[in-house]
């Protein structure tokens, strides 16, 4: 396909090139595949841009793998969500045209970053003197490797808000309470019934102090939290200053926190970091909240800790796997609240993510700086 | 009255240990306690208060003329384990020169916290999410599934910016609330702290994305939230009530919720309490009902219990109460 394009180009006597000029001159818009029916704002941007021709898996449910591998063939860009594994198999199926991968998420553990870095934009070499100049020019002005766009920051508010919502629902036993109200467990007002643990005078610990961790702490402050502490691969003084948080070791974090929020990215280092070693050091009244990635938590150890009263309660928005099968033991625990990965699920946020993903994609295809590019 | 007279006190429920210890240690009173987690039956209450100098009660005990008559002329003080006092016949109590102790301030944090918890759970659809997870409704991540309404960039309206209303407003601010409106009998200087704008009720109702009811129950606020009220709210708005059930007309609320006139509601108080399990509001996915747990934290109930005991003792000895209700 590349060869026939070049033949056409030579016939049309193309002027000195940029990648976009090359494409426009051929009057073939870049080909894009959108792997899910994303919220309307992003789709509007793609349609109205006039810069791409796109196909979409027009469903709320994920595109089957076989279909996905078929559809990405020859694409210049892919807009995906976090359920699609962008690995060597998919990149091979897409082929050498692929320049931009835009994910509608801040997490990127579904992307094989090594594979993405490895693959160059232009693979074919030419002997024709004119085109050799072109190829060199392209290689100089376009970074090697497929560029990746993602959606940090636009979802920070929604995620921080949901994390606090989940923390409060867990510590104040809201799910138990709504259940009692519906099933006749509600008698008259009683002095110690359904009592929970309050944030006032507590110590809140954050594992992984990034944008989201800071946003969570900002929202918790007026509840009269006494102290914020955090741990991370290294101190984060600028972020910590915003919330007056003290840097501590993982052990100290476990021992001192009344409320522990997990906010780190999922990496080989953080995989399973919340295990018996951590839980066994925590306070009996402690509340554990995870809205980062399921893989950070050892779920068997968490079940042990919750069922034996080693910690008071847990709230999870992310699990392994997702969805968590309905027979999983964690569901049997009154002191475990599980949500189906809805941290960024507000109408405005999902539309903002969609718009940003679309804009990242278009900028990448134009060879311009993206609003939010992931540095590989 | 002899100086050594033992004062009779009736305690209408088992209360947290912190309060009981204070009463027992004082050695002033002959304590008669309905030692149960369940309310004292009316007949037992009338019998138990006979000749009492002091009554320590909960908000589920109606202290009306009948009870006051049954107690008789010794009664000097009523101490309630609550900040609300709509269960006390204030006019009658005042007429008889009886003093009243209650528990403002100590439960402000816990109640404001619960109100925000309820608002978030309602707006972000937490109970629905938990349900879907348990019944197999959760398949994979979907872009618009279970989307809710966020506080970021929103307008919040607080009806009644008292101690609790202000505490709620403080806690909502860092969620990115753009405007904080409030209404009441008059503007409050403390509203400045949260950049609160004093507006007429209609303005608040029409412009708020989140309407939070935090006023006390009075003849003026009884049934305030009715058909007209809900008809003025936005279709995307969330209604939260943690004040008293009777401020809301529940039939009208049901209509508003089931017809999509408003997006969702969260209630910690109802009429009656408990709300019968067959009540229509409990059938709605967009209505979250909690069984009046506003102040339900271990530490707060302990502190309330201490304060209630100390109010009672002060009333018995004719001294200054830590928290006396001005009637």
DSSP string of B71-88, one letter each residue: H-TT--EEEESSS--TTB
- Cα-based distances in Å from B195 to B163, B169, B172, B192: 16, 9, 12, 5
pLDDT of A15 over the 90 cut: no
Interface of A with B in 47-76 (CB under 8 A): 60-62
Residues of chain A contacting B300 with CB distance shorter than 8 Å? 198
Q: Give the residue with greater pLDDT, B191 vs A22.
A: B191
State how far residue B139 is from chain A, nearest Cα, in angstroms. Answer: 6
Residues of chain A contacting B289 with CB distance shorter than 8 Å? 178, 181-182
Residues of chain A contacting B13 with CB distance shorter than 8 Å? 190-191
Residues of chain B contacting A36 with CB distance shorter than 8 Å? 142-143
Average pLDDT over residues A187-216: 94
Res B4: pLDDT: 58
B300 touches chain A (CB under 8 A): yes
Average pLDDT of chain B to the nearest whole number: 96
- Report the SS3 class of residue B96: coil
Interface of B with A in 91-120 (CB under 8 A): 109-110, 113-114, 116-118, 120
Res A342: pLDDT: 95
Nearest CB neighbour to B274, from listed A158, A186, A348: A186
Upstream peptide bond of A321 is cis (omega within 30 degrees of 0): yes
Res A25: pLDDT: 44
Residues of chain B contacting A164 with CB distance shorter than 8 Å? 120, 175
B235 touches chain A (CB under 8 A): no
pLDDT of B28 over the 90 cut: no
| Whole-prediction pTM | 0.85
Dihedral sign of CA atoms A359, A360, A362, A366 in order:
positive
Give the pLDDT band of residue A10 (cuts 50, 70, 90). Answer: low
Average pLDDT over residues B89-104: 97
A107 touches chain B (CB under 8 A): no
Nearest CB neighbour to B290, from listed A62, A174, A198: A174
- pLDDT by residue (tens digit) across A281-315? 999 999 999 999 999 999 999 999 999 999 999 99
pLDDT of A18 over the 50 cut: no
- Cα–Cα nearest to A72, from A40, A102, A42, A107: A102
Q: Which residues of B does the annotation mark as catalytic?
A: 292
Res B141: pLDDT: 85
Dihedral sign of CA atoms A179, A182, A183, A188 in order:
positive
Structure tokens at A274: 């919340």
pLDDT of A373 over the 60 cut: yes
Indicate the burial class of A59 (C-beta count within 10 angstroms; 0-12, 13-18, 19 or more): exposed
Structure tokens at A176: 């138990």
Give the pLDDT band of residue B200 (cuts 50, 70, 90). Answer: very high
pLDDT of B216 over the 60 cut: yes
Give the Cβ contact number of residue B45 at 10 Å. 22
pLDDT of A123 over the 70 cut: no
- Cα–Cα nearest to A284, from A258, A312, A313: A312
CA distance linking residue B127 with residue A338, whole number of Å: 10
CB contact under 8 A, A165 and B81: no
Average pLDDT over residues A253-276: 97
Average pLDDT over residues A323-327: 94
pLDDT of A165 over the 80 cut: yes
Nearest CB neighbour to A165, from listed B126, B171, B274: B126
Give the pLDDT band of residue A6 (cuts 50, 70, 90). Answer: low
B274 touches chain A (CB under 8 A): yes
Give the pLDDT band of residue A124 (cuts 50, 70, 90). Answer: very low
Res A121: pLDDT: 55
Q: How many residues does chain A have?
A: 376
Res B218: pLDDT: 93
CA distance linking residue B14 with residue B39, whole number of Å: 9
- pLDDT by residue (tens digit) across A27-66? 589 999 999 999 999 999 999 999 999 999 999 999 999 9
Q: Which residues of A does the annotation mark as catalytic?
A: 341
CB contact under 8 A, B117 and A338: no
Residues of chain B contacting A174 with CB distance shorter than 8 Å? 117-118, 121, 126-127, 290
Res A190: pLDDT: 83
pLDDT of B203 over the 80 cut: yes
Average pLDDT of chain A to the nearest whole number: 89
Lowest-confidence segment of A143-152, A299-308, B60-69, B302-311 by average pLDDT: A143-152
Q: What angle, 0 to 180 degrees and rounded to 10, lies between the N-to-C axes of helices B108-123 and B126-134?
A: 60
Res B140: pLDDT: 82
- pLDDT by residue (tens digit) across A332-352? 999 999 999 999 999 999 999
ipTM confidence score = 0.90
B37 touches chain A (CB under 8 A): yes
């Amino acid at each position: 396909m590349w060869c026939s394009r070049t033949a056409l180009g030579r016939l049309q006597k193309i002027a000195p090139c940029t990648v976009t000029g090359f494409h426009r001159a051929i009057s073939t818009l870049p080909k894009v595949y959108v792997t899910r029916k994303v919220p309307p704002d992003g789709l509007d941007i793609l349609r109205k841009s006039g810069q791409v021709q796109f196909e979409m898996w027009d469903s709320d449910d994920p595109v089957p793998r076989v279909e996905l591998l078929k559809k990405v063939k020859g694409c210049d860009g892919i807009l995906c969500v976090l359920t699609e594994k962008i690995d060597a198999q998919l990149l091979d199926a897409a082929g050498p045209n692929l320049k931009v991968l835009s994910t509608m998420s801040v997490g990127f553990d579904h992307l094989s970053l090594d594979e993405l870095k490895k693959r160059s934009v232009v693979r074919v070499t030419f002997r024709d003197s004119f085109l050799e100049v072109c190829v060199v020019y392209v290689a100089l002005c376009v970074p090697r490797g497929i560029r990746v766009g993602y959606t940090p920051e636009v979802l920070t508010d929604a995620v921080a808000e949901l994390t606090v919502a989940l923390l409060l629902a867990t510590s104040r036993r809201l799910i138990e309470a709504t259940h009692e109200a519906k099933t006749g467990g509600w008698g008259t007002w009683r002095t110690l019934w359904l009592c929970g643990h309050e944030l006032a005078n507590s110590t809140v610990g954050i594992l992984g102090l990034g944008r989201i961790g800071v946003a969570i702490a900002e929202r918790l402050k007026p509840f009269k939290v006494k102290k914020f502490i955090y741990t991370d691969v290294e101190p984060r003084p600028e972020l910590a200053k915003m919330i007056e948080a003290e840097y501590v070791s993982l052990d100290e974090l476990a021992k001192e926190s009344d409320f522990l929020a997990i906010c780190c990215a999922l990496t080989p280092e953080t995989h399973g970091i919340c295990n018996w070693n951590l839980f066994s050091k925590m306070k009996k009244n402690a509340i554990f909240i995870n809205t980062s990635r399921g893989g950070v938590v050892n779920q068997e150890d968490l079940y042990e800790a919750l069922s034996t009263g080693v910690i008071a309660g847990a709230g999870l928005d992310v699990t392994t796997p997702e969805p968590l099968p309905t027979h999983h033991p964690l569901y049997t625990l009154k002191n475990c609240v599980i949500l189906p990965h809805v941290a960024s699920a507000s109408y405005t946020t999902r539309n903002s993510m969609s718009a940003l993903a679309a804009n990242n994609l278009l900028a990448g295809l134009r060879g311009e700086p993206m609003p939010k590019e992931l540095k590989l | 009255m002899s100086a050594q007279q033992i004062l009779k006190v009736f305690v209408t429920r088992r209360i947290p240990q912190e309060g009981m210890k204070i009463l027992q240690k004082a050695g002033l009173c002959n304590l008669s306690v309905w030692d149960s987690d369940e309310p004292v039956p009316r007949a037992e209450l009338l019998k138990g208060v006979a000749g009492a100098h002091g009554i320590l009660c909960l908000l589920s005990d109606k202290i009306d003329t009948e009870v006051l008559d049954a107690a008789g002329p010794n009664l000097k003080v009523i101490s309630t384990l609550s900040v609300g006092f709509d269960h006390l016949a204030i006019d009658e109590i005042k007429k008889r020169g009886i003093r009243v102790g209650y528990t403002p301030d100590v439960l402000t944090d816990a109640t404001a916290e619960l109100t925000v918890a309820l608002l978030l759970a309602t707006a972000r659809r937490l109970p629905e999410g938990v349900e879907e997870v348990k019944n197999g409704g959760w398949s994979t991540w979907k872009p618009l599934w279970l989307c809710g309404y966020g506080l970021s960039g929103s307008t919040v309206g607080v009806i009644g910016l008292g101690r609790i209303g202000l505490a709620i407003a403080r806690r909502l601010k860092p969620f990115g609330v753009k405007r904080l409106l409030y209404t009441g009998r008059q503007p409050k200087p403390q509203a400045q702290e949260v950049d609160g704008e004093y507006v007429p009720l209609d303005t608040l109702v029409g412009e708020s994305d989140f309407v939070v009811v935090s006023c006390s129950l009075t003849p003026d606020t009884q049934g305030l939230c009715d058909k007209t009220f809900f008809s003025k709210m936005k279709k995307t708005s969330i209604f939260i009530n943690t004040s008293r059930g009777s401020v809301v007309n529940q039939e009208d609320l049901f209509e508003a919720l089931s017809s999509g006139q408003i997006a969702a509601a969260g209630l910690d108080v109802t009429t009656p309490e408990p709300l019968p399990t067959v009540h229509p509001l409990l059938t709605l996915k967009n209505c979250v009902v909690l069984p009046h747990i506003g102040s339900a934290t271990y530490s707060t109930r302990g502190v309330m219990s201490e304060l209630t005991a100390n109010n009672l003792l002060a009333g018995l000895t004719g001294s200054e109460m830590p928290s006396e209700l001005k009637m």
